[in-house]
Amino acid sequence: MKESVIIVPYDDAWPDEFDRIARILRQHLGGHALRIDHIGSTAVPVLHAKPVIDIQVSVAKLEPMTYQGAIEAAGYRYRADNEDRTKRYFREQEGRRRTHIHVREAGSWSEQFALLFRDFLRADEVYRQEYAEEKQALARRYSQPHERESYVAGKDPIIWRIIQEASEWSQRTGWRPGEDYR
């Protein structure tokens, strides 16, 4: 059953929760994981977010999925129904904290997109606030569980506007992805 979109104020416990999960993933994944990063809104201090920890695991190659067993042993289920072919997607098992694992190929556009978006929002208070306000407005507008996809689609214009500014910022600053957990 789909849930309503709920946006909550930033929780100072989110980075610690990411660190805890990342340590477990690293123990299971070993050398399969080239990077393990906290991504998404819970990775951006002071940003309101859905209380879901998004984690990006960067691997040398998406296929074959040699990492699948390790992630499943850490307590996550592979979601083959994911339509995004630039990643492999895992979710928490029933009864565990809401966590999404996004496995992406190291150096790929989709891997870099998630890291640039996160780092730019960490650095720019104006865009961070604008993004927070838009997410809250969309969550109010699409408050029913069956409207979740409309909420996600509704964020597209602001995400693309922010990533365009983030791209320019990255060129001005010489941005390189920060480290979360290796």
Which residue ranges make up each domain of the chain?
A: 14-173
Q: Name the E strands within 43-86.
A: 53-59, 76-78
Specify the pTM. Answer: 0.93
Give the strand pairing for 76-78 and 53-59. unpaired
Instruction: Report residue 153: phi and psi, to 5°.
Output: -65, -35
Q: What count of other Cβ atoms lies within 10 Å of the Cβ of residue 64?
A: 7
pLDDT of residue 122: 96
Helix segments in 4-124, DSSP class H? 14-29, 68-73, 109-123
pLDDT of residue 95: 66
pLDDT of residue 119: 96
* DSSP percent split of the chain into helix, strand, coil, nearest 5: 50, 15, 35
pLDDT of residue 182: 45
The answer as to CATH 3.30.460.10 being correct for domain 14-173 is: yes
Per residue in 27-65, pLDDT tens?
A: 999 999 999 999 999 999 999 999 999 999 999 999 999
What gap in Å lies between CA 66 and CA 178, rounded to an integer? 26
pLDDT beneath 70, residues of the chain: 1, 95, 179-182
pLDDT of residue 117: 98
- Using the 8-state DSSP alphabet, how is residue 177 labeled? P
